[in-house]
Amino acid sequence: MTDAKTQIDEMVKSNDVVLFMKGTKAMPQCGFSSRVAGVLNYMAVDYSDVNVLADEAIRQGIKDYSDWPTIPQLYVKGEFVGGCDIITEMTLSGELDTMLAEKGVAFDKAAADKIREANA
């Protein structure tokens, strides 16, 4: 059996976009996870979700892996992007669009623009 760090490393490196969250993208189990999953779902980003509530070793392991104390945590092309506040800020500023485009991750630009319009 591989340890949590190895499992996390494999998930982060084998998926273009992965969200470590409480619950699943279809059924988030906390408001912060729901917000980030909602943004990704609305923008039609293809991502893998990892329910940290299903595995205590992964729940603690992801915090150690990133040296970031909270969940959710978003990774794009192996790079830690941030948690709920950072993703929200990046979405509203357009930084998330730029990063996804630069990394070759498909997303719905019109949907991203609608998020910004609704929050202007």
The tens digit of pLDDT for each residue in 9-37 reads 999 999 999 999 999 999 999 999 999 99
Average pLDDT of the chain is: 96
Six-digit token string for 44: 């039609």
β-pairing verdict for 48-51 and 17-21: parallel
Cβ-contact 53, 28 below 8 angstroms = no
Give the pLDDT of residue 2: 64
Give the angle subtended at the CA of 35 by the CAs of 62 and 56, to the nearest 5°. 25
Say if residue 84 carries a ligand binding annotation: no
Burial class (CB in 10 A: 0-12, 13-18, 19+), 27: exposed
**Is the pLDDT at 1 greater than 50, yes or no?**
no
Give the pLDDT of residue 13: 96
Evaluated on CA atoms 108, 110, 112, 114, the torsion sign reads negative
- Enter the pTM of the model: 0.95
So what CATH class is 4-115?
alpha beta
Give the pLDDT of residue 21: 98
Cβ-contact 58, 50 below 8 angstroms = yes
Query: Tens digits of per-residue pLDDT, 36-66?
Result: 999 999 999 999 999 999 999 999 999 999 9
Query: Where are the domains positioned within the chain?
Result: 4-115
Give the pLDDT of residue 14: 97
